Amino acid sequence: MRIKSLAFILAGALFLSATASLAADTPAKDSAPTAQTAVFSVPKLSDEAVVKDLTKALAKEKGIIAAKAETETGKFLVTFESAKNSPETLTRIVTKVAPQAKLDGVRAADTKAAAHGDCGKCPSKSSCPKSKQTTS
């Protein structure tokens, strides 16, 4: 009887050890999507029509959190969920509207923008459920 108990305890210990090893090798998934900001240099960004056209084109895309024009620097910032969109896709959209635009780089998004903290400037505000919660 002692041998059966010892065998059972050893089998349980091996199982727990194997489970812990597998869990350590499996990367944890974040509950929140990773947000990034693509920074574009856009000529003629001071022209309101260019900003309006860029915003309208981006509003159709999934995963866009915010779009902001910095007219004094000529930069157009697009914050997006990296699981739903990519810098390459954003570049295609932006260069359709402003052919001379160039992607300067991609950086981690500001946590406030990533949390939908600036819904008023988001191109998707009319269709975003988060925006409807904050404006109701």
**pTM across the whole model:** 0.62
Q: Is residue 41 part of a domain?
A: yes
Q: Is residue 58 part of a domain?
A: yes
Report which of 67, 73, 65 is spatially closest to residue 42, judged by C-alpha positions: 73
- Bigger pLDDT: 50 or 7? 50
Our count of domains for the chain comes to: 1
User: What are 9-48's pLDDT values in tens digits?
Assistant: 444 444 444 444 444 444 444 455 589 999 999 998 999 9
Contact (Cβ atoms closer than 8 angstroms) between residue 122 and residue 67: yes
Name the residue type at position 136: S
Q: Is residue 19 part of a domain?
A: no
Helix then strand count (H, E) for the chain reads 5, 4
Q: Which domain holds residue 103?
A: 35-125
Q: Is residue 54 part of a domain?
A: yes
User: What are 57-94's pLDDT values in tens digits?
Assistant: 999 899 999 999 999 999 999 999 999 999 999 999 99
Q: Is residue 5 part of a domain?
A: no
Q: In this structure, what CATH number is given to the domain that contains residue 48? A: 3.30.70.100
Q: Is residue 132 part of a domain?
A: no
Q: Is residue 7 part of a domain?
A: no
